[in-house]
């Protein structure tokens, strides 16, 4: 009967449950590893008030005393308390940042679905519907078989909406402590519901986990569970706050609140600054821009500094101490192509910098270069008082005129081109372009040009430095010529970029070889060595040793459990493999690959009732998951046959 089981569940490596997935430990932006302990900064000894002249002389370290990890967050309600920042509180929270996340059952959101709206994805034969019921928004999905009968049907109540009235809205829902993205989004330009960004290429249904790194840029106070990316404490957001909170840009406010309570009515002098809380307007330009860079600048790879998490960044400190952003350089032979793309529609994966790389795109501007970095995000953008739509053109034109003059425009006042854009500087010099990879979206290109299609400046063709071959470090520390990216972070950067550009694989292997000697117990190194041993060298014993050590060192990601179980299973150590899978599913109950592999393990050991029960429980929430659906199909095909008679003593929970 064992042969029946093997024929029903083939274990060749080309099947879905035997595929080796080579992923690195989560040093990337969505990391949720616990922070390393950091001693309190000496800045705590500074006096509360600091002369502006001295403050502006600072180029690197922040003089603000709330940047250390010992200072607690207090929530935005403390900022808007009577006698405090009531006016700013009133004007800020209606802005795009303040409204970047909200409950999904608001009247405004429900008005977007006056009746059920259906979206069909022909690639996977899946039909989605968004609708409202009993004052809540829902999204559902089903698939039909060749006879037109439903294979499954599932609906989830939507809990949160994220986005804004420029591009559109995406939706989130909760399952216990986990947060997931819903597959349908609403697009402003077309006033239509369609697949969420990324789903056209990879429609994962309702199973896309909302990682901390993603959520952090839409909600300023997420409260994640350590080492469980996508899992959050209860409530999932500190102080019940939605949207980008005050402390996102000003840092934790406990010290400021405490000092203000003891010095009520204290008025600062004209040359004094309150150092108990970060004031972005008083930061050096690079540190001020880092506040925006955290969310508005991406790269080919964004790596979390070893020992840190995305939650560890504190306003007023260099972002590069928490997150390292790298990109591939434009090679000399690509110069002509890169310049041509400045006038062509954006193509995802092309040489053109994506429009959401705001900071590095702005830095390509002559305006930025001529200002020696003093042209910052806040030169044009007022976070506290975002202009109303009818006032935007005038507000941004006024920002241009802080440096330029009316006569700077070479077009005569009565020129038809100037009249056509209503004297709007942005219309000509910062064109709106489609965003590659995101449907129905236009965004402002932050490279300021004299004319459309202006060739890129020489700075755009910067080549890598010896300390980071083949890559550019976009947020390299200023004034620190000896700064370098830690080797384990380089390993992750090369891995991430090599998946887009295979010519970089040799750099990854070379770095891994170095680290195998200099940092043999690092969990990222161990997982990488295990992946190579498993997939390249076919050395299951060594792979199992590496993955086991990686788990012990704290790398508790779903892929580590999966890879360790694979190596153990390949050696015939099926009981050990099953125990590892059970640990993995306990940690990640909504991981389709882990659940599918464990169900297969149960079946092959004769525990059909466990396999069916596990699959049934998972598919009650995610019936569209392909890996678990495949297991269900094979279980159904087996009927009541057990691979090992006598081993199955449980009750079959599959509905008849």
- Sequence spans of domains, the chain: 2-23+520-638, 99-210, 341-366+383-462
For residues 178 and 587, give the distance between their C-alpha atoms in angstroms, rounded to a whole number: 12
How far apart CA 336 and CA 351 sit, in angstroms, is 11
CA distance 404 to 398: 9
DSSP secondary structure letter of residue 165: T
pLDDT at 248: 95
Q: What is the DSSP letter of 214?
A: H
How high is the pLDDT of residue 4?
32
Using only C-alpha atoms, what is the Rg of the chain? 27
Classify burial at 93, counting beta carbons within 10 Å of its beta carbon; exposed 0-12, middle 13-18, buried 19 or more: middle
Tokens of 217: 């840029």
CA distance 395 to 215: 30
Which tokens belong to 260? 């203000």
- The predicted pLDDT at position 567 comes to 97
pLDDT number for residue 251: 96
CA angle 422, 425, 427 (to 5 degrees): 75
Res 439: pLDDT: 73
The pair phi, psi for residue 401, each rounded to 5°, is: -75, 0
pLDDT in the model for residue 455: 92
**For residues 534 and 614, what is the distance between their CA atoms, to the nearest angstrom?**
27
* pLDDT of 641: 56
Report the predicted TM-score, pTM, of the whole model to 2 decimal places: 0.87
Please answer whether residues 34 and 226 qualify as being in contact, where contact means their C-beta atoms are separated by less than 8 angstroms.
yes
* pLDDT per position as a tens digit, 149-201: 999 999 999 999 999 888 899 999 999 999 999 999 999 999 999 999 989 88
At 345 the pLDDT is: 66
Give the whole-angstrom CA distance, residue 627 versus residue 634: 11
pLDDT at 408: 85
pLDDT score, position 348: 65
Predicted confidence at residue 589, as pLDDT, reads: 97
Which positions of the chain have pLDDT values less than 50? 1-27, 31-60, 644-656
List, for residues 4-30, the tens digit of each pLDDT value: 333 333 333 333 223 333 444 444 555
Instruction: Give residue 643's pLDDT.
Output: 53
Q: Check residue 284 and give its pLDDT.
A: 94
Q: What is the rounded distance in angstroms from the CA atom of residue 206 to the CA atom of residue 625?
A: 9
Are the CB atoms for 325 and 408 separated by under 8 Å? no
3-state secondary structure of 49: strand
Residues whose CB is less than 8 angstroms from the CB of residue 430 and which lie 6 or more positions away in sequence, other chains included:
444, 445, 446, 447, 448, 449
Q: 2-23+520-638 maps to which CATH number?
A: 1.25.40.10
pLDDT value at residue 349: 63
């Amino acid at each position: 009967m064992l042969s029946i089981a093997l024929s029903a569940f083939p274990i060749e490596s080309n099947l879905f449950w035997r595929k080796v997935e080579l992923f690195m430990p989560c040093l990337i932006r969505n990391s949720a590893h616990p922070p390393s302990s950091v001693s309190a900064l000496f800045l705590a000894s500074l006096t509360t008030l600091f002369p502006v002249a001295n403050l502006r002389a600072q180029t690197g370290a922040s003089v603000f005393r709330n940047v250390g990890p010992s200072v607690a967050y207090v929530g935005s309600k403390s900022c808007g308390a009577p006698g405090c920042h009531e006016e700013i509180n009133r004007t800020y929270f209606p802005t795009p940042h303040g409204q970047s996340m909200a409950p999904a059952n608001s009247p405004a959101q429900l008005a977007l679905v006056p009746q059920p709206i259906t979206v069909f994805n022909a690639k996977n034969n899946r039909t989605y519907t968004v609708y409202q019921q009993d004052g809540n928004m829902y999204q559902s999905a089903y698939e039909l078989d060749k006879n037109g009968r439903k294979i499954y049907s599932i609906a989830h109540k939507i809990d949160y909406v994220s986005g804004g009235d420029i591009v559109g809205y995406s939706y989130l829902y909760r399952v216990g402590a986990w947060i997931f993205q819903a597959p349908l989004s609403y697009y402003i330009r077309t006033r239509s519901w369609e697949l969420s960004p990324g789903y056209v290429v990879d429609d994962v249904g309702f199973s896309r986990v909302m990682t901390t790194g993603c959520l952090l840029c839409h909600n300023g106070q997420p409260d994640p569970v350590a080492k469980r990316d996508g899992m959050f404490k209860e409530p999932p957001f500190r102080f019940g706050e939605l949207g980008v909170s005050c402390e996102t840009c000003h840092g934790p406010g406990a010290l400021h609140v405490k000092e203000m309570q003891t010095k009520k009515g204290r008025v600062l002098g004209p040359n004094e600054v309150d150092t108990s809380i970060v004031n972005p307007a008083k930061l050096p330009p690079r540190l001020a821009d880092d506040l925006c860079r955290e969310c508005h600048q991406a790269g080919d790879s964004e790596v979390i500094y070893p020992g840190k998490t995305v939650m560890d960044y504190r306003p007023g400190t260099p972002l590069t101490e928490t997150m390292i952003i790298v990109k591939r350089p434009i090679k000399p032979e690509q110069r002509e192509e890169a310049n041509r793309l400045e006038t062509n529609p954006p193509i995802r994966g092309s040489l053109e910098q994506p429009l959401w790389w705001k900071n590095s795109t702005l830095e390509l501007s002559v305006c930025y270069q001529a200002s020696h970095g003093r042209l910052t995000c806040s030169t044009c953008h007022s976070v506290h008082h975002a202009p109303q739509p009818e006032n935007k053109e005038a507000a941004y034109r006024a920002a241009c005129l802080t440096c330029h003059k009316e006569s700077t425009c070479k077009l005569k006042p009565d020129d038809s081109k100037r009249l056509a854009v209503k004297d709007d500087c942005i219309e000509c010099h910062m064109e709106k372009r489609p965003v590659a990879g995101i449907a129905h979206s236009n965004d402002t290109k932050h490279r300021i040009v004299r004319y459309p299609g202006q060739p890129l400046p020489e700075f755009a063709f910067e080549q890598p430095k010896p300390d980071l071959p083949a890559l550019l470090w976009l947020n390299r520390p200023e004034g620190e010529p000896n700064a370098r990216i830690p080797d384990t972070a380089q390993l992750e950067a090369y891995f991430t970029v090599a998946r887009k550009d295979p010519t970089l694989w040799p750099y990854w292997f070379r770095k891994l070889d170095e680290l195998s000697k200099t940092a043999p117990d690092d969990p990222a190194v161990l997982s990488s060595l295990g992946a190579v041993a498993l997939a390249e060298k076919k050395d299951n014993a060594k792979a199992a040793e590496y993955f086991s050590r990686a788990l012990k060192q704290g790398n508790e990601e779903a892929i580590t459990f999966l890879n360790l179980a694979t190596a153990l299973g390949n050696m015939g150590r099926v009981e050990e493999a099953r125990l590892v899978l059970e640990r993995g599913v306990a940690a990640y109950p909504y991981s389709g690959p882990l659940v599918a592999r464990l169900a297969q393990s149960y079946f092959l050991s004769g525990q059909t009732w466990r396999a069916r029960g596990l699959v049934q429980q998972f598919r009650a929430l995610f019936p569209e998951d392909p890996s678990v659906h495949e297991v269900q199909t094979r279980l159904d095909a087996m009927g009541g046959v057990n691979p090992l008679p006598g081993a199955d003593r449980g009750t079959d929970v599959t509905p008849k």
